[in-house]
Amino acid sequence: MGQERVDLETWARADQFRFFRGYEKPHYAVTSRVDVTDLLARRAEAGISPYRACLYGIGAGIHAVPELCMRFRGDEVTRYDRIELSMTVPLADGNFRYAYVPFDPDFATFDGRAAAIIAEVAAGGTLNANTGQRDDLAYLSCLPWLDFTSINNALPHADDCIPRVSWGKFVEVGGRSTMAMTIEVHHALVDGRQVGDYFAAVQAAVDRV
């Protein structure tokens, strides 16, 4: 997994980075709807898991936006070329554990690896939570019981800059199936334009699965 240091002297967002770093509450969340009509139509004929297809779409969206692959520690900003997806895996007793799946732009490769890792985590083990030892991650959580309109997350401190993505129940309105999706980001790294680019890339990836 490669990484490079971002030069604050030449980075176009350096002023915004320094400005929002000083906020007590620098995170914000945006919820939008993703159309899954075509994905659900292909599910039966191709045997596609809608859940893993959503994981793939989120991973593609994150990797399409350089700022979503940036992290900072102190005043040093790093951009990773590959982010792992950390998602909650539900257990039979109602609890959950965390899985870590490397993203691959090839859906078949990603899908097979994700299925194996999720099955292994569901079979048992510890919570496997990241306690700050790494930041080359995005945190993902599915809420299939709810068609929510907004959501935010528990955050350990103001400098936590790992994006959080949540998505909800598939619902049909006017002959189209959609789901709510929220991404929560740190404003020192990500502006509204990048969030818009993220949702566009997610939709494109879900459409091509």
Asked if 141 and 87 touch (Cβ cutoff 8 Å), the reply is yes
**At 168, which CATH number?**
3.30.559.10
Structure tokens at 72: 């900072």
CB atoms within 10 A of CB 20: 19
pTM of structure: 0.96
User: Beta strands 164-168 and 137-143: pairing type?
Assistant: parallel
Q: What pLDDT is stored for residue 45 in this prediction?
A: 75
Phi, psi (deg, nearest 5) at residue 206:
-65, -35
Q: What pLDDT is stored for residue 137 in this prediction?
A: 98
Q: What share of the chain is helix, strand, coil (3-state, %, to 5)?
A: 35, 30, 40
Q: How many domains does the chain have?
A: 1
Q: What pLDDT is stored for residue 47 in this prediction?
A: 85
Tens digits of pLDDT across the chain (209 residues): 699 999 999 999 999 999 999 999 999 999 999 999 999 998 877 889 999 999 999 999 999 999 999 999 999 999 999 999 999 999 988 899 999 999 999 999 999 999 999 999 999 889 999 999 999 999 999 999 999 999 999 999 999 999 999 999 999 989 999 999 999 999 999 999 999 999 999 999 999 99
Domain limits for position 140? 3-208
